[in-house]
Chains A and B, each alone.
Chain A
């Protein structure tokens, strides 16, 4: 992602925030309303974001380094696994989602063979479920299919 597109993203987000802020009661300086502070923040944010677009921002060598296709794929898989976990957990439940999540990442990030990845994933799903759901009493979703 380029510096310029991030800077423009800042401007768009700031403008959107300011536009929404104007919809809340502003009040007056003597009696500030719910919109007073957000409008002030929105104006500050727009000014700072516009300045970033104009002057740019410093970028390090690490940030500028070219990324190969494999590296991009690993980031994409990790992101997809995270999003998939969030999307599927209400239906599949925590144990199954955790199993799939760990197995996929072990396989795709480190090349672990499927049998080993699946056994490790099953153990980690079971242990983490026991620790959080049983010991710490966190009501982790069991999945719509079990209810």
Chain B
């Protein structure tokens, strides 16, 4: 099935009443999650995953994907109106967006942000459609060595980009891989690290770990911070229209942000956040009036807001074409697919076209729904911020508990949730990003399987693992990403010393 036929087929799937409703619910929840500071898309998707058990796999994935990209729309609203980013991916938007609000241009900033998100989301889905199809075809040639190399390189890049110390990121990767080894080993059936527990033989569920690290940990941080009230700017409908000059200034930043976001989404790491910083610095660098940035430049809203939406589409490419998630959000989507009995990977497109093309088409529909929902209803979404923090926190925790239990009706999942909640709280206090841990939990079993398959195939000869052309390229990319920055800074230091010494 070619991309055009696939898309037509996908619209047939996505436009059924059940899928349309799931898409609508997903994007509305996503917007609310984006508006509310603290509860991110990853926690919300994990939280709502158990409620999708009664849905078909396609409908479930359409709803969860809607939450993911919908949260990028909602995040900008609070950044612009309250200077409180609902999402990490909207931190940059607050710089100029809030300044615009102070100058009475909040409506214009919101409109440009929504239109930019729509354009980037739509272009991103177009890229996903074309790129994922090509990558899935190419991936059919991948063997165990290539998959192992891809996972190792992905984790290396993620460790480099996840912020903070790279050594701590390595510890997170190691912990994630270690967690992935708990349970019955698939080749010889040996039970590892189960301490005699039958429940542990199945391994640790990913979803309670994510709910704990993101949902429970966030609520504990909010509990520590105490009650918080925000002053919210009012926006009238007639103020929502940008001037001709504002449109002119926004159009190219939206186009550039879309491309930057999509490309950043393909790379392992916090793509939605990273892409906004890149887009912002690109806009400031190429601007003829860089001094306007930070004082309410609309380019500083348009570029980053387009970028974070483009990144959500880009991040879906490795998930849907290779079955490899490179971020916690796509790890939840992978978990949803597996729970629903779907094996993601290069055969997804041909084996379950309704899932692949249904989700792709639903993303077009979802982006359109978000555009028409977000602008007229901005006041409604912002009013959610008036919900007292402690009420929201309490209900989030209750949903986490009941959601974790309902995954497999197991008390073990409840304890995993609480323990990882506390671990996540400690990580937050020490500014440790748990993303490498989550991705390593998902990739660990695949890494072990492909490593052992490769060594079996090669009778223990490491050459097969290291020197197949694609593996070699991937390992080299990983090595450059890891070693490049320290080598470059050492070279710079040396040349600075040489210059100073004359």
Could you tell me which A residues sit within 8 Å of B by CB distance? 1, 3, 6, 10, 13-14, 17, 20-21, 24-25, 28-34, 36-38, 41-42, 44-45, 48-49, 51-52, 55, 57-60, 62-63, 67, 70-72, 74-75, 77-79, 81-83, 85-86, 89-90, 94, 98, 101-102, 105-106, 109-110, 112, 120, 124, 128, 132, 136-140
B178 touches A45 (CB 8 A): yes
Once the chains bind, are A3 and B223 in contact (CB under 8 Å)? no
**A48-B174, A62-B431, A78-B397 are contacts. A109–B223 as well, Cβ < 8 Å?**
yes
Which residues from chain B contact A45 at a C-beta distance below 8 Å? 171, 174-175, 177-178
Select one of A17, A78, A124 contacting B178, CB under 8 A.
Answer: A17
Interface string of B438-465 (1 = CB under 8 A from A): 0000001001100110011001101000
The contact string, 1 if C-beta is below 8 Å from chain A, for chain B 372-398, is 000000000000000011110111011
Do residues A82 and B418 form an inter-chain contact, with CB atoms below 8 A?
Answer: yes
Asked whether, in the complex, the Cβ of B167 is within 8 Å of the Cβ of A55, the reply is yes
Are B402 and A132 within 8 A (Cβ)?
yes
The reply to whether the CB of B426 lies closer than 8 angstroms to some CB of chain A is: yes
Q: Is the CB of A85 within 8 A of B165?
A: no
Complex contacts, B394 vs chain A, CB 8 Å: 101-102, 105-106, 109
Q: How many Å from the CB of A83 to the closest CB on chain B?
A: 6
Instruction: Please indicate the chain A residues that have their CB under 8 angstroms from the CB of B193 in the complex.
Output: 17, 20, 38
> Please, how many angstroms separate the alpha-carbon atoms of A12 and B255 in the complex?
50
CB-CB < 8 A to B414: which residues of A? 85-86, 89
A70-B226 contact in complex given A51-B167, A78-B219, A83-B418, C-beta closer than 8 Å:
yes
Q: Which residue on A lies nearest to B185, using beta carbons? A: A34
Residues of B within 8 A of A (CB): 50-51, 53-54, 164-165, 167-168, 170-171, 173-175, 177-178, 181, 185, 187-188, 190, 192-193, 216, 219-220, 223-227, 388-391, 393-395, 397-399, 401-402, 405-406, 409, 411, 414-415, 417-418, 421-422, 425-426, 428-432, 444, 447-448, 451-452, 455-456, 459-460, 462
Q: B431–A94 contact, CB under 8 A?
A: no
Question: Which secondary structure characterizes the binding site on chain B?
Answer: helix
- Min Cβ gap A70→B in Å is 7
Determine if A74 and B223 form an interchain contact, defined as CB atoms under 8 angstroms apart.
Answer: yes
Contact among B402, B429, B431 for A140, CB-based, below 8 A:
B402
User: B224 contacts A74, CB within 8 Å?
Assistant: yes
| Sample of 12 more A-B contacts, CB < 8 Å, known A34-B188, A37-B448, A79-B418 | A28-B460, A30-B456, A32-B452, A38-B181, A38-B192, A42-B178, A74-B223, A82-B397, A101-B394, A110-B227, A124-B395, A136-B54
In whole angstroms, how far apart are the Cα atoms of A132 and B409 in the complex?
Answer: 12
Q: How far is the CB of A144 from chain B (nearest CB, A)?
A: 13
Knowing A1-B426, A34-B190, A110-B390, say if A63 contacts B431 (CB, 8 Å). yes
Given contacts A67-B224, A70-B226, contact A128 B402 (CB under 8 A): yes
A-B residue pairs in contact (CB < 8 Å), sample of 18: A38-B192, A41-B177, A42-B178, A44-B170, A45-B174, A48-B174, A55-B167, A57-B165, A70-B226, A75-B224, A78-B397, A86-B415, A94-B402, A109-B393, A110-B388, A120-B391, A124-B395, A140-B402
| Residues of A contacting B409 in the complex (Cβ-Cβ under 8 angstroms) | 138-139
A88 CB to nearest B CB, Å = 11
- The answer to whether A71 and B192 touch across the interface, beta carbons within 8 angstroms, is no
A34, B418: Cβ atoms closer than 8 Å: no
Which residues of chain A are near B418, meaning CB under 8 Å? 79, 82-83, 86
Which of B190, B398, B426 has a CB less than 8 Å from the CB of A98? Answer: B398
Q: Contact check, B391 vs A106: say whether CB atoms are below 8 A apart.
A: yes
Taking CB atoms, residues of chain B closer than 8 Å to A29 are: 455, 460, 462
Nearest 5 A-B pairs (CB), nearest first? Answer: A30-B460, A110-B390, A45-B174, A34-B190, A109-B390
| In contact, A136 and B216 (Cβ under 8 angstroms) | no
Are A58 and B397 also in contact (CB < 8 A) when A79-B422, A136-B53 are? no
Q: CB < 8 Å: which of B168, B220, B452, B455 contacts A52?
A: B168
Task: Report how far A117 CA is from B211 CA in the complex, Å.
Answer: 25
Which A residue's beta carbon lies closest to that of B421?
A82
Q: Is the CB of B406 within 8 A of A59?
A: no
Which of these, B165, B171, B411, contacts A90 with CB under 8 Å? B411
- Please indicate the chain A residues that have their CB under 8 angstroms from the CB of B220 in the complex: 75, 78-79
Which chain A positions have C-beta within 8 A of B429?
1, 63
* A21 to B190 alpha-carbon distance, docked (Å): 12
Q: How far is the CA of A64 from the CA of B193 in the complex (A)?
A: 35
A53 to chain B minimum Cβ distance, whole angstroms, is: 10
Task: Give the Cβ gap from A137 to chain B, nearest Cβ, in Å.
Answer: 8
Given A1-B426, A48-B171, CB of A71 within 8 Å of CB of B226: yes
Bound Cα distance from A3 to B165, whole angstroms: 13
| Residues of chain B lying within 8 A (CB to CB) of residue A77 | 223
The docked-state distance in angstroms from the alpha carbon of A132 to that of B425 is 28
A106, B51: Cα distance in complex, Å? 25
Asked whether, in the complex, the Cβ of B451 is within 8 Å of the Cβ of A37, the reply is yes
In the complex, which residue of chain A has the Cβ closest to the Cβ of B422?
A79
Partner of B451, one of A3, A31, A32, A90: A32
From known contacts A1-B429, A106-B391, infer whether A138 and B405 are also in contact, taking CB-CB under 8 Å. Answer: yes
Most buried by A among B174, B175, B394, B459: B394
Docked pose: A126 CA to B432 CA in angstroms: 38
Question: Which residues of the partner chain B approach A74 to less than 8 Å between Cβ atoms?
Answer: 223-224, 226
